[in-house]
Chains A and B, each alone.
Chain A
Amino acid sequence: MAIIGRTGATPPDLTRVRPYGDTLDDGAVQLSFTLPVPFGDEAREAARLMALGMGLTEPSIYHGADLGEGYSFFIVYARTAVTVDFTKVVVPKVEGRRMTKTEIDTFISEQVGRKLVLLGACTGTDAHTVGIDAIMNLKGISGEKGLESYHEIEAHNLGSQVSNEALIEAAYRYNADALLVSQIVTQKDVHKTNLTELIELLEAEGLRDKLVVVAGGPRIGHELALELGYDAGFGPGTLAPDVAGFVAQQVVARGLATRGLLRGGKAG
């Protein structure tokens, strides 16, 4: 069995893991927050009590500042006695093998036999296209080219503020295999409403099973995406091959290669 955690010093007890400051199990954490009370000794004491109330011990208020208008800012260091059993941690992961751009193109041409059609969009009122652009556009990000550069993928970036209805229309128009939905704005959980509505519309149209549908964004995890009815969720740090590889493998595994929206018979 592989060694988990550090070597060369006392190994951590993986059933009782705690934060590490500079000594094993010291439980050191740092936090900062603002209280809506005027700055002063009482505010400082309130910050200390706040940390204690969180279950932290030995809180030290290392810095406090008057933000004006009755607000006070604090930087606090403290310890926690909470432990986590690392041996029991389970995280759902996007299924499938991670492939390179070349492998994906080869995979599609051999297993699908035609180009895959992928539509990307920021839906609802969301106007932040940074994420979907990084995945879709030729240039890509971090030296990894986007889906537009794939030989075996026909990628259409529909841009920002696309309504769910317009996205479905486009799915018919392009005879899409997969929809990539980006949501950056998450204030008041607007992304969840929006993402849920798309799935409902797809189901009403009888399209849900004929498409691979994935969501992405800084606050979108795989688990949340699954919960909302998506095939996968892609969080921060995702690159084009992560998405393309997943979609290609899904299309093959689910036998969608020959079905498609129009190929399956239903006309738009």
Chain B
Amino acid sequence: MGAASKLFLDESKVARARASASNIADSLTGFVRARTTVAVERTLLRLLGVDGIEEQGIPLPNVVVDQLARAGRLDRGVMLPFCSAMAALGLEPQQVAEAAARGELDLGTWEIHNEAEARALGERIGAEAVARVGRTAEERRERMARLSPPNETMLYVIVATGNIFEDAVQGKAAAVQGADVIAVIRSTGQSLLDFVPYGETTEGFGGTYATQANFRVMRTALDEVGERINRYVLLTNYCSGLCMPEIAAMGALERLDMMLNDALYGILFRDINPERTLIDQYFSRMINAHAGVIINTGEDNYLTTDDAIEATHTVLASQLINEQLAFRSGLQPWQLGLGHAFEMDPAARDGFLMELAQAQLVREVFPDHKLKYMPPTRYMTGNVFKGYVQDAMFNLVTAWTKQGIQLLGMHTEAMHTPHMHDRHMAIESARYILNNAASIGDEVEFKRDGLVVRRAHETVEQTMGLLEEVESMGLFEALAAGRFADVKRRRDGGRGRAGVVVRAADYFNPIEAGLRAALQLDANEASHGNHR
């Protein structure tokens, strides 16, 4: 930025906007750290290795946590009574959960006579769980070092058949064609389930259920094709909705590489309770941070409900807030796939230049971040021939502004989940344009008083204004007032609020403590090291 800025940005204005976002993030920390949720507690059990379902299909982590929640005893956390039972009965984590499922053990009435022993056991198995998450990052690093790394602009495609075995074949074919990242779209509605479905699944609507077994099927398939094409193929899924932290844990255990992870998205577009999901996100992102996962945020969606030409600044403002929230959970800039999109009305005069201004602006404000650039969706139609050109224009902006993660547009976007050859055509177009216009951003400069530069400066001004407003009114109030995506969400509304629990003074969560230590979060908080 500064002298190097192709947009002649005023560095001090960007810094002011970032400082506002930092204050907004700080204002949430106290609230979030004083609470836990049913999903966070279930996550701890999953990280201890609890898996499987009881005879009615309820996942064992739910069985255990529900016992405590019903008894109103979740405020000290699940781990203390759970480890107490483990120690007293001489059982492994899975065995305790199975006993609870059989009705032989009720943690809701379990009396803790061995607290010191339980805490010591919790510390030990908690440390092992944290180490297991860290080993995922190591294994990924080893594999990436051995195989050739993904392309600098990672080509990202989706599969969404509903059948994990079909997804695996389609994912492998896409990798052979040149895709770097395969995302399995989730079955519509899963974000609102307060449990994670179990096992390998072959039926879904508009996508495939995110289950740990399904993660494993895809991981195995992509590792296999990666060895064959000598390139590490990244796997993506959705760490969002009511089970956000549980899916972070499942992803860490099965080595997912990217996760869509954005509480603001869930609040605005899935009507999930703001308090619940911000608490869930704080812990989810610690797991993602330690597992070396790149998160994707969903600001691109703002432009599907709000006007992309008028609401550009809401994307940048939200990205700055998301950046600060991510830093508070220990994520590094390279792990931030901040979302934005090419969603302006194709009929707009000089719309291409406005898109270019926005993409270049985001690139300069977040120089070390991955950035996830999303293709046109809102103005895609059944005219696949025009759609192919719209996607080409989008690809050209990517080539010009060097986006890190390029979600490839499908010319059949408005019609159906991608057909086999839709992905092929999309990859072909992207490779052609990214190569054919590879140095365009280095060669072509913007006029100092031209449309692109003026547009970027206006957006910075508006972003600064919006963030100062949100800072003074508070994030929860800003969401309730419809400041983002033109959608209004009250902090006490939406789904999942009943799962929020205020922590007792002696709340016990050695896994969180272990992650905080591994990520050096306490040191950072004390020294304001998060404010970058």
Contacts and interface: CB of A to CB of B under 8 A. Distances in A.
Nearest to B306: A139
Interface string A246-260: 000000000000000
A68 B173 contact: yes
Contacts, number: 72
Interface string A149-171: 00000000001110000000000
Contacts of A139: 307, 486
A38 to B, nearest CB: 12
Interface in B161-209: 162, 169, 172-173, 175-177, 187-189, 191-192, 205-206
Interface string A32-76: 111000000000000000000000000000000101110101000
Interface in B399-429: 414-415, 417, 419-421, 424
Nearest to A159: B271
A188 B177 CA distance: 28
Contact of B421 (A67, A159, A187): A67
Chain A interface size, as a band, is: 20 to 34
B188 A127 contact: yes
Interface in B335-390: 377-378, 381-382
A187 B420 contact: no
A127 B189 contact: yes
Given A69-B172, A69-B173, A125-B188, A187 B205 contact: yes
A112 B424 CA distance: 55
B205 A73 contact: no
Interface string B62-90: 00000000000000000000000000000
Nearest to B191: A127
Contacts of B177: 67-68
B269 interface: yes
Contact of B381 (A67, A125, A137, A236): A236
B304 interface: yes
A4 to B, nearest CB: 24
Contacts of A69: 169, 172-173, 176
A206 B460 CA distance: 56
A167 B351 CA distance: 39
Contacts of B419: 34
A137 B488 CA distance: 13
Contacts of A161: 189, 192, 270-271
Nearest to B162: A187
B305 interface: yes
Contacts of A218: 382, 414-415
B305 A129 contact: yes
Contacts of A126: 188
A71 B420 contact: yes
A159 B488 CA distance: 11
Contact of B378 (A124, A130, A160, A185): A130
Interface in B285-324: 304-305, 307
Given A69-B176, A161-B192, A218-B382, A130 B304 contact: yes
A30 B358 CA distance: 38
A218 B381 CA distance: 9
A34 B421 contact: yes
Contacts of B162: 187-188
Interface in B145-163: 162
Contacts of A14: none
B411 to A, nearest CB: 11
Contacts of B169: 69
A67 B420 contact: yes
B170 to A, nearest CB: 8
A73 B425 CA distance: 10
Nearest to A36: B420
Q: Nearest 6 pairs between A and B by C-beta?
A: A68-B176, A125-B189, A69-B173, A73-B421, A34-B420, A68-B173
Interface of B: 162, 169, 172-173, 175-177, 187-189, 191-192, 205-206, 269-271, 304-305, 307, 377-378, 381-382, 414-415, 417, 419-421, 424, 486
19 contacts: A33-B421, A67-B173, A67-B176, A68-B172, A68-B177, A69-B173, A73-B421, A125-B189, A125-B205, A130-B304, A130-B377, A133-B305, A137-B305, A160-B270, A161-B192, A161-B270, A161-B271, A187-B162, A236-B414
Interface of A: 32-34, 65, 67-69, 71, 73, 124-127, 129-130, 133, 137, 139, 159-161, 185, 187-188, 190, 218, 236
Given A69-B172, A130-B305, A236-B414, 5 more contacts: A32-B421, A69-B176, A137-B486, A160-B271, A185-B205
